[in-house]
Amino acid sequence: MLSIKNLHASVEGNEILKGINLEVNPGEVHAIMGPNGSGKSTLANVLAGREEYEVTEGSVIYKGEDLLEMDVDERAHAGVFLAFQYPVEIPGVSMATFLKEAINANRRARGQQELSPVEMLKFIRSKTKLLGMDEQMLKRSLNEGFSGGEKKRNEMLQMALLEPSLAILDETDSGLDIDALKVVADSVNALRSPDRSFIVVTHYQRLLNYIVPDFVHVLFNGRIVKSGGKELALQLEEKGYDWIKEENAVAG
């Protein structure tokens, strides 16, 4: 599915990622944890194609293709989805218009027929219902005036509608109360399938009580310094990140 090799990336000349290696197979859930400033969000954004991040070395192969050569929208068409840490508010673009445009843009790119307005509404309704969202929300401007929880729920709605092969959740759990957190976890769990993979970037272990990962990686200072199973997350919860920092300070 995804193969990251020796990935280096910089923002405004500062190197943030210093050689990431990661293999994600179909159906797997990988959790990326780490202290603030370790490069977690940078990794998520580089995969989504944000232009401020410059890849200086290394490769990312997605389904056999060079992901770094693809435009932002092409990555979406190929099935890469980023749930934003800070979803953007866009006044004047209604949720309904946005979802319709996004769904049909992906269908066109994949050579599928666009959905008729009736099919579209039916499809969107089936997912809003699943997420316990009020349909009135479709009339509102995209993310404008949404609470933190509503914004994250909206990211999950988009994920459900776009049915990606690789979903990257960038600290989707930050700032959420337990109910909102469960909605996020339920959305991910509902979509888990043998041909769909997830990278869950999180600062806290709590989300991983609900989304049980196959692998946990600890990112520190731009590198993955520790990998393990779900028990690694519990260890981090118990001991914090200091022992990682110390270990690496000694090793470094």
* 92 scored as a contact of other proteins (CB under 8 A): yes
Angle of helix 95-109 relative to helix 148-162, nearest 10 degrees, comes to: 30
* 98 scored as a contact of other proteins (CB under 8 A): yes
Task: CB nearer to other proteins: give 23 or 73.
Answer: 73
* 193 scored as a contact of other proteins (CB under 8 A): no
**Which stretch of DSSP H or E encloses residue 201?**
strand 197-201
CB of 72 to other proteins, least distance (A): 4
The CA radius of gyration of the chain, in Å to the nearest whole number, is 18
* 62 scored as a contact of other proteins (CB under 8 A): no
Options 79-87, 118-126, 132-140, 178-186: segment touching other proteins (CB under 8 A): 79-87
Q: Quote the CA–CA distance of 234 and 162 in Å, as a whole number.
A: 32
Options 84-92, 115-123, 178-186, 194-202: segment touching other proteins (CB under 8 A): 84-92
Burial class of residue 126, CB neighbours in 10 A (0-12, 13-18, 19+): exposed
SS3 227: strand
Burial class of residue 21, CB neighbours in 10 A (0-12, 13-18, 19+): middle
* 154 scored as a contact of other proteins (CB under 8 A): no
Q: How many residues bind other proteins (CB under 8 A)?
A: 29
Task: CB nearer to other proteins: give 3 or 104.
Answer: 104
Q: Quote the CA–CA distance of 112 and 80 in Å, as a whole number.
A: 18
Q: Which of residues 24-53 bind other proteins (CB under 8 A)?
A: 48-51
* 97 scored as a contact of other proteins (CB under 8 A): yes
- Check: CB of residue 11 under 8 Å from CB of residue 54: yes
Task: Give residues in contact with other proteins (CB under 8 A).
Answer: 48-51, 71-73, 75-77, 81-82, 84, 87-88, 90-93, 97-98, 101-102, 105-106, 109, 141, 158, 162
